[in-house]
């Protein structure tokens, strides 16, 4: 299926032409038929000579309903511009053309109606020149009469050529269906309609509507029940969910869009728009019409950057185009003022003086791709890039994270210096904790830190240290600590199993941190909290205990080792844990058979 919107001045015969082409009545409301003009969007469809089916979105031409017209044209890839031969180009013709041009519609044809009432040649030539100047190129132009049928066969053939030239939509694209009608059907519940520009919708799909999950219970396209449909297509969906949909809401693929009310954009002025943009405008995209505040980030030149604060959140991608309209302007004044191309859907805060100007400079060379996003955000996950409309092309640096190359290189260069400073500030620690490095580098994930580690750095036990830096004994300790440990070892050389008391440790300046550093360096053996011996004391103790009659008690072990119960009990428990001794009962232990006396 293909979808084409009408455009043109009020009462120039758009609905009459659609009716003549399709045999269907596009005006849905009794009020529309009574007044002879389109108020709401109308829909009709037909089969072209080639067998292709085309659906028309018939939009209102009256100036008061410009917002409704934009809701119809916004999601549609092609337009049939209608001009009456007896009136020629009119004010709403111009405003519709400005809207079509600003929305970026580049495919269309021209139908000059009422050819039975006036010579169509002047209107045809004038309108064709205007459409070409607006970027639609050398469109096919035909004179027709909806009343007599003149030229309708040629128009059908031209429509065939138009739809054949339209770019093929991607059936794998994420769904974003802007709702243009929502109503309830007895026995079925909520039904919404819209134009599906790309992607695929199937019965049973779960989509999101304003962040809430909804399920597709039923699906119709051109009044026919279907199980699935791909864009471009006019569709009606029967939904199950808790939210009440309205025109301007969008059904989207979960996780595939960024729902935001703050965007940075590049502003392109509409033809004929003059002066600075008002601070408050209405932004249009798809069928959505949302008030917004406009903040220029720099001088208001063509293509300048601005920040839009939307009155409600919308699902957006980079590269989306919003049309900015001033609904408060008087009759005959241009209300379509600009096109705003989305450059960032998660813009940074502007806190410092001059931050807006810096942001404008950064956006001057921005584009709708992942590389541009990463220059601003530095680090983004796979899913974040997808939701922003920029699926990543390269490999992640770590765990699904992508990085700006310059930022990543800078982090890699900083890490060794960060580790060196930490070692200087914390000489008693065996390395810098990964979490401390994460905080120092301002990274959101520990896995990014480990991905930055390169030789001579290495990661072990959650700490970053220098490869090969295995320091044992007192050599790796700060000088005061090393002197205190050597003095303690001198004490233990005279009485190997008489662990120093807390007073002696304090006198030597060996507090918990210093003792921990000495134990990590292998200069001391920790038997229990507050109980330290010389390295290898446990093996020597096991050799002495192996000479005792087996099994033995704590009292006999204490006597054999020449120590106190304060030391003997935790030392025996330490030997149990190392497998050098084992309990026989509540009172007795014995040495393992492999334990032999020297």
Average pLDDT, integer, range 36-59: 74
The angle at the Cα of 152, spanning 148 to 153, to the nearest 5 degrees, equals: 130
Task: Name the band, by pLDDT with cuts 50, 70 and 90, for residue 33.
Answer: very low
Which runs of E-coded beta strand occur in 242-335?
250-252, 258-269, 280-285, 288-296, 305-316, 321-325
Is the pLDDT reported for residue 496 higher than 90? Answer: yes
Provide CB contacts within 8 A for 238, sequence distance 6+. Answer: 185, 188, 189, 190, 191, 216, 217, 218, 219
Instruction: Identify the CATH assignment for 176-252 out of 3.40.50.2000, 1.10.3720.10, 2.40.30.10, 3.30.300.130.
Output: 2.40.30.10
pLDDT digits (tens, 9 = 90+) for 217-258: 999 988 889 999 997 888 899 999 887 888 889 999 999 999
pLDDT the model gives residue 366 = 87
CATH class of residue range 2-164: alpha beta
Q: Where residue 467 falls among pLDDT bands split at 50, 70, 90?
A: low
Q: Which of 365, 376, 370, 377 is nearest to 394 (CA)?
A: 370
What mean pLDDT do residues 567-593 have? 92
Residue 60 is predicted with a pLDDT of 58
Q: Sign of the CA dihedral 525, 527, 528, 531?
A: negative
pLDDT score, position 63: 42
* Closest among 52, 77, 25 to 195, alpha carbons compared: 77
Report the pLDDT value the prediction gives residue 476, as an integer from 0 to 100: 62
For residue 40, what are the CA distances in angstroms to 22, 180, 282, 461?
18, 10, 19, 68
The residue among 37, 41, 69 whose CA lies nearest residue 335 is 69
This prediction's pTM = 0.75
What residues does CATH 1.10.10.10 cover in the chain? Answer: 536-598
Asked if residue 232 has a cis previous peptide bond (ω within 30° of 0), the answer is yes
Of 3-7, 42-46, 476-480, which one has max mean pLDDT?
3-7
Summary mean pLDDT of the chain:
85
Mean pLDDT value of segment 486-493: 90
Q: Quickly count: other Cβ atoms within 10 Å of residue 360's Cβ.
A: 18
Encode pLDDT of 301-321 as tens digits: 778 899 999 999 999 999 998
pLDDT(328) > 90: no
User: Which residue reads 């300048």 in tokens?
Assistant: 304
Residue appearing with tokens 């979490």? 435
Q: How many CA atoms lie within 13 A of 521 on its CB side?
A: 22
Q: Model confidence over 181-222: pLDDT tens digits?
A: 888 888 788 899 888 888 999 999 999 998 899 999 999 988
| 444-448 contact pairs (CB < 8 A, 24+) | 444/379, 445/398, 445/399, 445/401, 447/398, 447/399, 447/401, 448/379, 448/397, 448/398, 448/399, 448/401, 448/403
**pLDDT > 80? residue 179:** yes
Beta bridge partners of 525: 533
Which fold is adopted by the domain 536-598? Arc Repressor Mutant, subunit A (1.10.10)
Question: How would residue 71 be classed by pLDDT, with cut points 50, 70 and 90?
Answer: low
d(CA 369, CA 456): 36
Confidence band of 541 (pLDDT split at 50, 70, 90) = very high
- The pLDDT assigned to 388 comes to 95
**Distance separating alpha carbons of residues 141 and 482, to the nearest angstrom:** 94
Question: Could you read off the pLDDT of 506-523 as tens digits, one per residue?
Answer: 999 888 888 888 887 788
pLDDT at 147: 84
Q: Give the pLDDT confidence score for residue 473 in this predicted structure.
A: 55
Q: What is the pLDDT of residue 35?
A: 38
pLDDT value for 41 = 65
Cis peptide before 551 (omega within 30 of 0): yes
pLDDT category, 550, cuts 50, 70, 90?
very high
- Higher-scoring residue by pLDDT: 33, 320: 320
- Residue-level pLDDT at 49: 92
Where in the sequence of the chain do the CATH 2.40.30.10 domains occur? 176-252, 258-387
Mean local confidence (pLDDT), 437-445: 94
| Confidence (pLDDT) at 548 | 93
Is residue 588 pLDDT above 90, yes or no? yes
Lowest-confidence pick of 91-105, 145-159, 434-448: 91-105
Mean pLDDT of 9-26: 80
* Percent of the chain with pLDDT strictly greater than 70: 91
Q: Which long-range contacts (CB under 8 A, 24 or more apart) does 129-132 make?
A: 130/89, 130/94, 130/97, 131/81, 131/97
Residue 84 in tokens: 């009456």
Q: Are 362 and 264 in contact (CB under 8 A)?
A: no
Question: Is residue 64 predicted with pLDDT exceeding 50?
Answer: no
Predicted local distance difference test score (pLDDT) of residue 331:
60
Residue 597's pLDDT is 43
- The percentage of the chain sitting over the pLDDT mark of 90, rounded to a whole number, equals 46
CA distance 126 to 88: 8
pLDDT of residue 37: 38
Residue range(s) of every CATH 3.40.50.300 domain in the chain: 2-164
Considering only 58-67, 426-435, 451-460, 501-510, which range has the smallest mean pLDDT? 58-67
Which CATH code for domain 258-387?
2.40.30.10
Tens of pLDDT, residue by residue over 349-395, are 998 888 999 999 989 888 888 999 999 999 999 999 999 999 888 89
The stretch 582-586 carries a mean pLDDT of: 92
Residue 290 has pLDDT above 60, yes or no: yes
Task: Tell me which of 271 and 317 has the higher pLDDT.
Answer: 317
Does residue 499 carry a pLDDT above 80? yes
Q: Do residues 96 and 61 touch, judged by C-beta distance below 8 A?
A: yes
d(C-alpha 141, C-alpha 110), whole Å = 5
Span 550-571, average pLDDT: 94
Residue 486, number of CB atoms within 10 A of its CB? 14
Spatial neighbors of 273 by CB under 8 A, at least 6 apart, are 334, 336, 337, 338
What's residue 333's pLDDT? Answer: 66
Enter the CATH code of domain 406-466. 1.10.10
């Amino acid at each position: 299926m293909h979808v084409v919107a009408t455009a043109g001045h009020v009462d120039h015969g758009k609905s009459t032409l659609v009716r003549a082409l399709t045999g269907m009545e596009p005006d849905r409301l009794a009020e529309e038929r009574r007044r002879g003009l389109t108020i709401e969007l109308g829909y009709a469809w037909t089969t072209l000579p080639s067998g292709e089916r085309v659906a028309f979105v018939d939009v209102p031409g009256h100036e008061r309903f410009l917002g409704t017209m934009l809701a119809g044209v916004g999601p549609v890839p092609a337009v049939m511009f209608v001009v009456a031969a007896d009136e020629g180009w009119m004010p709403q013709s111009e405003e519709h053309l400005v809207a079509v041009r600003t929305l970026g519609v580049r495919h269309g044809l021209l139908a000059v109606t009422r050819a039975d009432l006036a010579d169509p040649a002047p209107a045809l030539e004038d309108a064709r020149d205007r459409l070409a100047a607006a970027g639609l190129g050398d469109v096919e132009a035909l004179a027709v009469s909806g009343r007599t049928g003149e030229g309708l066969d040629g128009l059908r053939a031209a429509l065939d050529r138009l739809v054949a030239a339209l770019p093929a939509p991607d059936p794998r694209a994420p769904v974003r269906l802007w709702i243009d009608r929502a109503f309830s059907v007895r026995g079925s519940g909520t039904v919404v309609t819209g134009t599906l520009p790309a992607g695929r919708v199937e019965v049973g799909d779960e989509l999101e509507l304003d962040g809430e999950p909804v399920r597709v219970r039923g699906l119709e396209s051109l009044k026919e029940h279907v199980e699935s449909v791909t864009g471009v297509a006019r569709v009606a969906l029967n939904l199950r969910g808790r939210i009440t949909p309205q025109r301007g809401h969008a059904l989207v693929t979960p996780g595939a869009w960024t729902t935001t009310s703050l965007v940075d954009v590049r502003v392109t002025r509409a033809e004929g728009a003059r002066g600075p943009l008002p601070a408050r405008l209405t932004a249009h995209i798809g069928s959505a019409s949302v008030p917004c505040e406009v903040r220029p980030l720099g001088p208001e030149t063509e293509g300048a950057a601005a920040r839009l604060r939307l009155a409600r959140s919308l699902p957006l991608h980079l590269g989306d185009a919003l049309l900015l309209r001033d609904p408060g302007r008087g009759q005959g004044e241009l209300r379509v003022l600009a096109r705003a191309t989305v450059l960032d859907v998660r813009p940074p805060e502007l806190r410092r003086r001059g931050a807006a100007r810096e942001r404008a400079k950064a956006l001057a060379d921005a584009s709708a791709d992942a590389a541009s996003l990463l220059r601003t955000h530095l680090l983004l996950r796979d899913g974040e890039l997808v939701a922003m409309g920029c699926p990543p092309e390269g490999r992640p640096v770590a765990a699904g994270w992508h990085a700006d190359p310059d930022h990543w290189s800078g982090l890699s260069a900083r890490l060794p210096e960060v580790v060196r400073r930490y070692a200087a500030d914390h000489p008693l620690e065996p390395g810098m904790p990964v979490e401390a490095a994460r905080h120092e580098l301002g990274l959101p994930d520990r896995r990014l830190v480990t991905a930055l580690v390169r030789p001579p750095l290495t990661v072990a036990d959650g700490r970053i240290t220098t490869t090969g830096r295995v320091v044992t004994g007192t050599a790796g300790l700060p000088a005061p600590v090393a002197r205190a440990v050597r003095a303690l070892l001198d004490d233990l050389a005279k009485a190997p199993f008489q662990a120093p008391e807390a007073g002696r440790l304090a006198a030597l300046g060996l507090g918990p941190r210093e003792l921990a550093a000495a134990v990590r360096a292998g200069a001391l053996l920790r038997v229990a909290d507050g109980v330290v011996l010389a390295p290898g004391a446990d093996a020597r103790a096991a050799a002495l205990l192996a000479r005792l009659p087996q099994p033995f008690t704590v009292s006999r072990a204490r006597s054999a080792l020449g120590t106190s119960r304060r030391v003997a009990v935790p030392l025996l428990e330490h030997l149990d844990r190392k497998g050098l001794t084992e309990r026989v009962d509540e009172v007795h232990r014995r040495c393992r058979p492999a334990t032999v006396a020297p």
